Structure 1
Amino acid sequence: MKKTLLALLLLGVTATAASAQVEIGLKVSPSIAYLRADGSSNNFQKDKSKLGLGGGLVVDYFFGENYAFSSGLELAGKGGTISYNDPGTGTAQTTKITAQYLQIPLTMKLFTNDIATDTKLYFQLGGVVGANIGTRINGEKEYTDPGNNNEVFKANKFLLVPDFGVMIGFGSEYQVGQSTKVFAGLHYQRGLPNIDNYYGDERGLKNVVLKNSEFALDLGLKF
């Protein structure tokens, strides 16, 4: 009986592997990023968005003709400019935060049947996990805080390293050869945790929240 169950299990795994298809590609992703800022006691708020450029590896693992688990490894530029009332100086301050993230999407892609010759639409939904690998404050690697006795802090201490969020997107894919496809789409990433590692810990300001958001255009080629 055990041998029969094992044989059926191996048969199922083999059939799944045989029917699965992996498509690997590269993409470039120009983006508009901003920080969702909140801190009612000091009027923390979003001031400006920033342009970024990312991209990387795309891996689509198909479990059927029209659906796939989509992941990869990519760089993403995030951050933005925030404004707040600084209790140390008694004046309004703005801070430009530029951050580079290495991230892994964990999403599902759902494809339509052909809407035109060799052309499909896709919808993407899932999550993304990432790590901050570089931060600049006002364009510099060190930050001199006028509201904290002009103390100097390293910019890479400003944000927490880990981040994760949800991703939603859509686009189209066009087959140009036997195994070559080009695609174009839009996606939105919404960070979930508070990534502030400075205003609360170093400045002692209450209820400060900073969260990443990004709109990006995906342009790529799969082989």
Structure 2
Amino acid sequence: MKKALLALPLLLAGIVTSASAQVEIGLKVSPSIASLRVDAPGSLGFASDGSKLGIGGGVIVDYFFGQNYAFSSGLLLTSKGGKINYLDQTAPNDPTQVRRSQEISLQYLEIPVTVKLFTNDVATDTKLYFQVGGTVNAAVAGRINSSKYYTDPATATELKASKHFIIPDAALLAGLGVEYQLGQSTRVFAGLSYHRGLFNIDRYFEKERSNMKGVTLKNNELALDFGLKF
């Protein structure tokens, strides 16, 4: 994952050098609603408990291999996570069950690997676009209940919140939007995208809690995409 992130600037530089006329580079900001898809044995009482607001953004690159077709990538910092609740023992020596809740906040470095399909002009200097593909993600920070550290009440064990989750993730991406040309090489765009996580990001329940095997947490994100291309 680190090698891929380090290689991306070199790849983008090579693309710009070899086919600068076909490359559009820009900036994007994406406010989003993130949640977690939860799956676990019924006896554990795991459930999704709502979504959280986030914001992300970064650099995007559209490399056109046809008049209306582009390979779209970039390097983004995104916010994911959500709220969950589950049944657990009250304390290390107290088997009485209580319902606990966690608000999970994760930050990822994200590399999109997608294709954008553009229509012809639907109005003056205005095109629609459709984006499909996926993303490769690496977790760089995490919080549970707004804290970088979390003490599990059932075991009295404190760990960094980021240690509760695996680093790599990947997602399917589907989006659509509208792009408007302001000048010869300047464009603005706005769109909507859905990111469906593919990996089980849980590490803590599987490895640290022997009575909670089979817990699966996967990212979901719905984002508004606003950007400017040069």
- Could you report, residue by residue, the CA deviation over 1:61-91 in whole angstroms, capped at 9, with x for unpaired residues? 0001100000000010000110111145511
2:201 to 195, 204, 208: 195
Cα deviation, residue 134, structure 1: 0.2
Aligned-pair identity (%): 62
Cα deviation, residue 151, structure 1: 1.3
Cα deviation, residue 215, structure 1: 0.3
Name the structure 1 match of 2:58: 56
Counterpart of 1:156 in 2: which secondary structure?
helix
Counterpart of 2:49 in 1: which secondary structure?
strand
Counterpart of 1:201 in 2: which secondary structure?
helix
Relative to structure 1, the CA distance from residue 161 to residue 18 in structure 2 (aligned partners, 3 Å threshold; closer, same or farther) is closer
CA distance in 2: counterparts of 1:159 and 1:89, whole angstroms: 27
Name the structure 2 match of 1:96: 103
TM-score by length of 1: 0.90
Computing the radius of gyration from Cα coordinates, the structure with the larger value is 1
Do the aligned partners of 1:104 and 1:129 also contact (CA within 8 Å) in 2? Answer: yes
Report which stretch shifted further, 186-195 or 32-41.
32-41
Equivalent pairs counted in the alignment come to 206
CA distance in 1: counterparts of 2:151 and 2:186, whole angstroms: 50
The runs of 5 or more residues in structure 2 that have no matched partner are: 1-17, 90-94
The runs of 5 or more residues in structure 1 that have no matched partner are: 1-16
1:162 to 155, 168, 182: 168
CA distance in 2: counterparts of 1:24 and 1:119, whole angstroms: 18
- Could you report, residue by residue, the CA deviation over 1:98-156 in whole angstroms, capped at 9, with x for unpaired residues? 000001000000000000000000000001001000001111111011111x1111111
1:105 to 112, 134, 154: 112
1:145 to 136, 152, 176: 152
Report which stretch shifted further, 40-49 or 18-27.
18-27
Equivalent residue runs for 1:163-178 within 5 Å = 163-178=169-184
Relative to structure 1, the CA distance from residue 94 to residue 60 in structure 2 (aligned partners, 3 Å threshold; closer, same or farther) is same
1:86 to 76, 85, 88: 88
Counterpart of 1:200 in 2: which secondary structure?
helix
CA distance in 1: counterparts of 2:214 and 2:175, whole angstroms: 31
Name the structure 1 match of 2:34: 33
Report which stretch shifted further, 59-68 or 199-208.
199-208
1:128 to 2:130 alignment: no
Amino acid in the other structure paired with 2:145:
N
CA distance in 2: counterparts of 1:63 and 1:51, whole angstroms: 36
Do the aligned partners of 1:20 and 1:63 also contact (CA within 8 Å) in 2? Answer: no
Relative to structure 1, the CA distance from residue 145 to residue 43 in structure 2 (aligned partners, 3 Å threshold; closer, same or farther) is same
Amino acid in the other structure paired with 2:27:
L
CA distance in 2: counterparts of 1:18 and 1:130, whole angstroms: 27
Tell me the C-alpha RMSD between the 2 structures.
1.3
TM-score by length of 2: 0.87
Amino acid in the other structure paired with 1:112:
T
Counterpart of 2:44 in 1: which secondary structure?
coil
